[in-house]
Structure formats: structure tokens, C-alpha cells
Amino acid sequence: MSSPGRRSVPPWCRRGCRTAPARPGDRYLPEGWDPGPVTDDAHALRVRAQLLHRPASGGVTETVRRLLAVQAQDIAAFPIALHARMPAVTAADLRAARDERSVVRIWGPRGTIHLIAAADLPWLFPLIRSGPVDSLRRLGQLGVRIGEAEAVRAVDRALAGQGPLTKAELGERLAAGGLPAEGQAIVHLAVLAARAGLLVFGPDRSNRPTYVHAADWLGSPVPVETDRERALAELARRYLRAHAPAGPRDLAAWSGLPLRDAETGWRAIAAELTEVSPGLWTAGADAADPVAEPVVRLLPIWDEYLLGWASTLAWAAPASYRPVIHSSRPVLLADGRVAATWRPRRTAGRLEITVRPLAPLADQISDLLAREADGLGRFLGLRTELAVGPPDPAGG
């Protein structure tokens, strides 16, 4: 297979590929590529692949496995992301899945924190674990000059047998062992230990994350070696199941892997693929069967639906809105397209949701939004107050 950027390319990269971003949010795009309008069928397929039509589910762990990984950088956001996909999930269900260790919060795709099913860690984590360079460089900038192996040993000693520790507690243990570290330096030391398979996140404590030794939490360290060829094929297969229709550049952007690795995985499952439009595939012959009513969901920041493909053009509203719609802003999704931004504000016993539509909402969408807001409030155990402002193409 030819290298990215040359004209002799596989069929899923017909015009030549590059790995440099074309513009913020658009990664691994073919040279001169303009996706044009994403069809309604493609949106419908992606909504279903992401489980946003809320099919009957077997629980938190099954849903996380079906999605492959769930972005969990913000501890207040990822429960909302699961609520958007599961009709009857409760906060207690999510806590139980984490306490039972069937899902694990860990640094994953793109070096960001995700929920991943424990059963998938042996093959998935070795592929997507982050490299050490950024953390070592940042540690040096913070005045902690240390090699990777020494950092891993220090965190290993500090965590082993101690149970989940907050960042401050881990810092105290590191200092007691002879490695003073504060603030973000503690986090980057934790990243290096996580990369070595020795650290995962434990249960949150008073809305703060905790760190725990992987062997104490899971029974053994997380594997860091795998059958790479087989794992890349499984990655392509599982990614496509949760993101179809998509292409290798989408997989590369989502996973953080080089495009050549994404193409290797894609090639391994070529016999399973169906091309539904130029550059977009499904695995098999999935059809976007209509649902009874529009799919209207309140999505949190960094939702998988906002981060799952190479280009934000895949889900954005009309072109004039694109600059203000990005993954770090909660959005209202209506049938796969961004219809509004929204802001949550929690007060004593209340969830205030303020929605700023990008264009006037149809009456049916407004009715479904009210139902969605009430459901989110019940999930969070709060009384909901919904306010819909005037249309604002600037995103509010």
C-alpha cells in the first residue's frame, strides 16, 4: 500500500491522502477533499450506529462495548452521553458497572480519557495507548526531570496496595517516596504509568477522579502487547460498527493511529465492507430503517457523535454555522444534525437548560426537546427548567 500523500492510493482514498489537518476539526482528509452534503441516509445510519435511536440495551457494559469506547474526559459529561443512548439507564447503573470493573476509565484514543469495557482492554489498549514524549516534555517544563522507566517505577510504588487515591493523595505518596510533584506533574506521571498498563482510574470521590493500580483494581496490569495485525482488523470492524458509514481517515482521526494503520485494518476486513457512497463504507448491508419520530438528543461536550469522524462537516449544521459548532460545546441533535447549542446550570435540586437554536425549531422538535430535557433531569435526579432562546446562528 502506498504511503499517505501519494497519488497511487487505495480506493477509499481516491484523491491522495495527507495526515496534516486541513483546518481545526478536520483531520486525515484527502487533498482537496470537500465532503459536500452528508446525505440523510448517512446521518440516519450514523445515528443508529451510535445508538442514539435508543434501542433496547443489555446495560452499561454492553453499550460501551457496542460503541467501542466512550469519551470520558469530563466526569459530568460522559453519564449524559450514555443517557442519550440508553432508554432506562440510571446513575446507579453506571456506578455499578465501574465498581464491578466491567467498564474502566482509562487514557485511550487520541490520548484522551475514555470508558472502555474491561474485556476489550487486552487487544484495544496496546493499539491506542499514548506515547511518552508529550508527558516527558511537559514534566520537564514543570521542573520534574525524569526518565520514563523511573517515573513508572515511582508511580508503581506509590499506588500498589493503596486503593484509589485522589491526585493530592498520589502526590503525597510520590513525595514520600522521594519524587516531589504537584498539580499537572502528578497527572503526567500518572499518564506514563497508565501507558505501562499499571494505572487506571478508580471510582470518583466527591466529583473528583481517583487513580488506582491496575493490578489492584483489575487483578493484573493492563496488557501492552498484542497481535497487531489481528487487533487492527478488529479495531476497523468494531469502529465501523459504531460509526458507519465511515472510512479509514475517520478511523485514524478517532483512534489517533497513523493513517497507514487504519488502512491496514480496513484492508483486512475488505470482504466485509459495503460502499454506500464514495469514500464511505458500512460493514455488511446495514439499512437506515426509519424510526417513528425524529431522534432529538441533548449531547454533552465531547460526545462520541461529535468526535467520531475526521471532519466536523460530517454532522454540522449549514456552512454558516460551522465555525461556532465544535465538540467542546453541548449541542442539541435533531436527526443527526446540530440544531442548537445548550448550556446546563445546576442549582440546588434543579437543572436549568438554556437552548439557543441555530434556526427556528419545528414544533415537533420543540416538543421532543421538552421530553428530552425532562428525561435528563430525572436521570440526574434534578427538577428540570427548560428555556429556549431566540434563534442565534452564532451559536449563543
Question: Using one digit for the tens of pLDDT, what is the confidence trace for 29-75?
Answer: 444 444 445 577 888 899 999 999 998 778 999 999 999 999 999 99
Residue-level length of the chain: 396
More confidently predicted of 81 and 395? 81
Overall average pLDDT of the 236-246 stretch: 96
Confidence class for position 312, pLDDT limits 50, 70, 90:
low
Whether 98 contacts 88, CB under 8 Å:
no
Overall average pLDDT of the 153-171 stretch: 96
CATH of 133-218 among 1.10.150.120, 3.90.79.10, 1.10.10.10, 3.40.50.720: 1.10.10.10
Start and end residues for every CATH 1.10.10.10 domain found in the chain:
133-218
Overall average pLDDT of the 12-26 stretch: 35
Separation CA 252–CA 242 (nearest Å): 14
CB-count burial class (<10 Å; 0-12, 13-18, 19+) for 36: exposed
What confidence score (pLDDT) does residue 242 get? Answer: 96
- Please state the pTM of the whole predicted model: 0.88
C-alpha cell at 169: 493523595
Whether 27 contacts 253, CB under 8 Å:
yes
Separation CA 350–CA 387 (nearest Å): 13
What confidence score (pLDDT) does residue 33 get? Answer: 43
Least confident segment among 17-21, 64-68, 260-264, 344-348: 17-21
C-alpha cell at 66: 457496542
Q: What is the mean pLDDT of the chain?
A: 86
Overall average pLDDT of the 304-325 stretch: 69
Overall average pLDDT of the 337-353 stretch: 92
Q: Find the helix or strand (DSSP H, E) in which 356 lies.
A: strand 350-357
| Assigned architecture for domain 11-44+231-283 | Orthogonal Bundle (1.10)
Separation CA 346–CA 339 (nearest Å): 23
Separation CA 360–CA 363 (nearest Å): 9
What confidence score (pLDDT) does residue 3 get? Answer: 35
Overall average pLDDT of the 318-346 stretch: 79
Least confident segment among 162-166, 275-279, 315-319: 315-319
Residue 6, pLDDT above cutoff 90 = no
Q: Where are the alpha helices (DSSP H) in the chain?
A: 40-49, 60-67, 78-83, 91-99, 121-128, 133-141, 148-159, 167-176, 184-195, 214-218, 228-243, 248-255, 259-268, 304-307, 363-380
* Coil vs helix vs strand at 388: strand
